[in-house]
Amino acid sequence: MATLLERIGTGLRAAREYNTLDFFPVRNSLESYRRDNFSGDLRAGLNVALLAFPQGMAYALIAGLPIEYGVYGSAVAAMVAPLFAKSPLITLGPTNATSVMMLSAFASLGIVGAEMLGMVPLLIFLVGFFILLGAYFKVANLVQYISRSVITGYITAAALLIISNQIPKALGLELEGKGATFYESILLTSRFIGTVEWSTVIVSLLTGALFFVLNRHYKTLPNVAISLVGISMLTEWLVQPAYIAISGQEAQLLFLSGINAADWSFQSPDFSLSSIQTLASPALAIALLCLLEGISIGKSLAARTGARLDANQAMFSIGMANLGCAFFSGMPASGSLTRSSLSANSGGRTVLASFISGVIVFIGAFALGPLTAYIPQSTLAVLVVAIGLSLINKHAIRVITATTKSDAIVFSLTLATGLIMPLDAAIYIGVGASIILFLKKVAQPEMVEYTFRDDGQLAQMGTSERRSIPEVSIVHVEGELFFGAADLFRDQMRRICEEPNLRIVVLKMRNAHHMDATGVMALDELLSYINEKGRYLILSEVKADMLRVLKKSGLVEKIEARNIFTDEPSNPTLSTAQALKRAKEHLGDSEANVSIYVDPVRDKEKKRT
């Protein structure tokens, strides 16, 4: 027995130590590093870098930023995060969701151009600050309270916004401004559809065809990078000359700006009060999104590999990565599913794999940056559209819309809000709707009266039946007694107590959970009402946590300790038997006919099981 207790104690201490925030865990990672891990980390770092470089440019394009922001953000996040992470499960960098949220936030605020670039560092700093604050207070596990219906609705809306914003670039349209929402983008595109540039369309079609073939037959290759390089060479050597030969004029193609990494330098955010007030709300939404993405990806990979994930430590590393991006021209950093999965599948074993990928992207910014000037804008736009299409999960949408009505409502509301309003509003409204529907679902107590017949069988009492003698009613209280359900429970019990022949009510509390102050006050009001009506209240099967709440609130004295019977797990019927005995003592010689109130829905479910 002592040995078992020692093992349990050791396990609990280890769990506490594992979940304690470490402000610089890379020291332990380096001290325990083994040489045989290096080959896998190097291979994973190289593969992730080949994906991260072109993805970074694509995500910057989604966010409406110069492409170097995506490249710098990929490098900085991948190098900073491993210094503060215990696990190699999450590879950080810019992502689809955070990029389109950033675009939506600035567009809804009407901030564009140089003003937007000047406020980007502060936005990312606030994102990092909110995430670090959450890590300090250990709120990482709160992501489980945000339903998949909200996330799927948001991601679908974000995907459609991504696609609608890139279609004009793929068609070569000359737009006046950029839509802040999917609805605005579609309206803007339809107005200028007559300005299609056909040379741009040709390059876009070639890009789509090449990427489709590569993705179908060679999924393991870095197809985004191959498509960028291949189409750039094809445009320079074939499309441009052929277009001139056929049309007699030069193709009006637009190309990306080259990256001059020599200009990459430290920059400090503008910490003005007005700017902080303007960006606080979108920064909080992006921080929540970073947390949802990062922790969800980490938990998914941890379940697949059998590893452990310290969610708060991972949250801390995400926050520090965002602070790094804020000071070095980056973008909001979150966990990337594609890069995290690629790192694990490529043999990455430690946090060094992420650091290596960041170093390679950093070197690539200097070595390959100028060559990005040969990439057609339409090529990158088509690849971004392909990324957007991949985000629309038809299976998840089908499951969510078909499973329950409340899930379908939450998904539809989040999606609709995301299509016509800024995406941060969609997150808030979706979460609010899911909470409201959940509270409504758990806050609807329904009871039906049962009674014993002459033959001793328990049966539902008909509406026309009347009590002719004093009765004891046993009420099964099942469900939540928190603020959302307390008043409904009180009002229903008041109606029960209005029966003229009712003398004693026994509340069975074993299946009543989470009584809060509102629940206590509702029970107190019910007790006062029962006393006014000349009724008597007895509690049975009261569990320890509820008894503690009743004692702290002072309700035990009002009900009287002799009328409260605690739950006995070893003998489930003992508590109610004692309550019935107490009821008979109160009635004296009166005959007691016992009725039982139950929730019919739960009763049916129990009979099925």
The tens digit of pLDDT for each residue in 32-83 reads: 888 888 888 999 999 889 888 988 988 898 888 999 999 999 999 999 999 9
- 75 touches 49 (CB < 8 A): no
| Alpha carbon distance 17, 479 (integer Å) | 36
The tens digit of pLDDT for each residue in 450-466 reads: 554 555 444 556 665 55
| Alpha carbon distance 128, 308 (integer Å) | 24
- 361 touches 78 (CB < 8 A): yes
More confident residue, 494 or 602: 494
* Residue 144 confidence (pLDDT): 66
Amino acid at residue number 577: A
| Alpha carbon distance 31, 185 (integer Å) | 52
Closest to 83 in 3D by CA, of 27, 19, 40:
27
- Residue 443's pLDDT band, with cuts at 50, 70 and 90, is low
3-state secondary structure of 471: strand
Interacting residues of 571 by C-beta distance below 8 A, sequence separation 6+: none
- 131 touches 315 (CB < 8 A): yes
Closest to 293 in 3D by CA, of 91, 512, 75, 585:
91
- 59 touches 95 (CB < 8 A): yes
**Helix ranges (DSSP H) in 2-66:** 2-18, 26-31, 38-63
pLDDT above 70 for 146: yes
Plot region of 306 (φ>0 → left; ψ -120 to 50 → alpha; else → beta): left
Element (H, E) at 472: strand 471-476
Query: 448-608 maps to which CATH number?
Result: 3.30.750.24
Write the secondary structure of 438-460 as one string of H (helix), E (strand) and C (coil): HHHHHCCCCCEEEEECCCCCEEE
* Residue 17 confidence (pLDDT): 46
Distance set, CA 407 to CA 143, 375, 397, 441, 587 (Å): 17, 43, 10, 12, 50
| Joined tokens for residue 414 | 């989040």
- 391 touches 216 (CB < 8 A): no
Kindly report the average pLDDT of the chain as a whole number.
82
Q: How many CB atoms sit inside 10 A of residue 570's CB?
A: 5
In degrees rounded to 5, what are phi and psi of residue 502?
-75, 130
Residues paired with residue 596 on neighbouring β-strands, in sequence order? 450, 474
Query: Domain spans of the chain?
Result: 36-436, 448-608
Q: Are strands 564-566 and 92-93 parallel, antiparallel or unpaired?
A: unpaired
Q: Is 462 exposed, middle or buried (0-12, 13-18, 19+ CB in 10 A)?
A: exposed
pLDDT above 60 for 288: yes
**Helix ranges (DSSP H) in 219-261:** 223-234, 240-247
* Residue 440 confidence (pLDDT): 73
- Residue 5's pLDDT band, with cuts at 50, 70 and 90, is very low
pTM score, whole prediction = 0.70
Q: Are strands 536-542 and 564-566 parallel, antiparallel or unpaired?
A: parallel
* Residue 405 confidence (pLDDT): 86
| Alpha carbon distance 416, 395 (integer Å) | 19
